[in-house]
Amino acid sequence: MNKITPFLWFDGQAEEAMNFYVSIFMNSKVLSVNRYGKGAPMPEGTVLTASFELDGQQFVALNGGSMYKFSPATSFVVNCDTQAEVDYYWDKLGAGGKHNRCAWLDDKFGVTWQIVPKQLGLLLSDPDPVKAGRVMQAMMQMSKIDIAGLQRAADNAATL
């Protein structure tokens, strides 16, 4: 078990969300499902908590009711090696949700994700401030991050 485990509060969609996430991430699995019993605040048999693992990271989902909502103040970063991987997670996690700016999206449950290519961090930390600045400007114009577009921005700064 992880020392720190994200705990996600849902309004009746904990099981659906868990199954959605497990279907998207490789090396993922359901660990356990606990259901409300008779006389509980939710209908008997409804998922109380569901524990699952996404590519080695454990999560717990709770059906706690409508009193709390997700916000972009908490998000999950998916670090990607290739544009194909960026495209995959952007499309899968964003299905039925909302695509935002600069690699951010809200999935259909309201959970915020950042789909980030590893190259972004490398280009933004370039010792040449003009190059890093051009990459930042390019990223600020994007929703889904385009690695080739970032690289073009970096290369264009180098030719100035």
User: Domain-by-domain residue ranges, the chain?
Assistant: 1-68, 70-160
Assess whether pLDDT exceeds 70 at residue 158. no
Instruction: Give strand pairing partners of 77.
Output: 114
Mean pLDDT taken over the chain: 95
* CA 92 to each of CA 24, 114, 133: distance values in angstroms, whole numbers, following the listed order: 7, 13, 30
CATH code for 70-160?
Answer: 3.10.180.10
Q: Which band of pLDDT confidence, cut at 50, 70 and 90, is reported for residue 143?
A: very high
Of 70, 64, 60, nearest to 12 (Cα)? Answer: 64
| pTM for the whole structure | 0.92
* CA 80 to each of CA 2, 90, 100, 107: distance values in angstroms, whole numbers, following the listed order: 22, 11, 18, 18
% of residues, the chain, pLDDT over 70: 98
Classified by CATH at the fold level, domain 1-68 comes out as 3.30.720
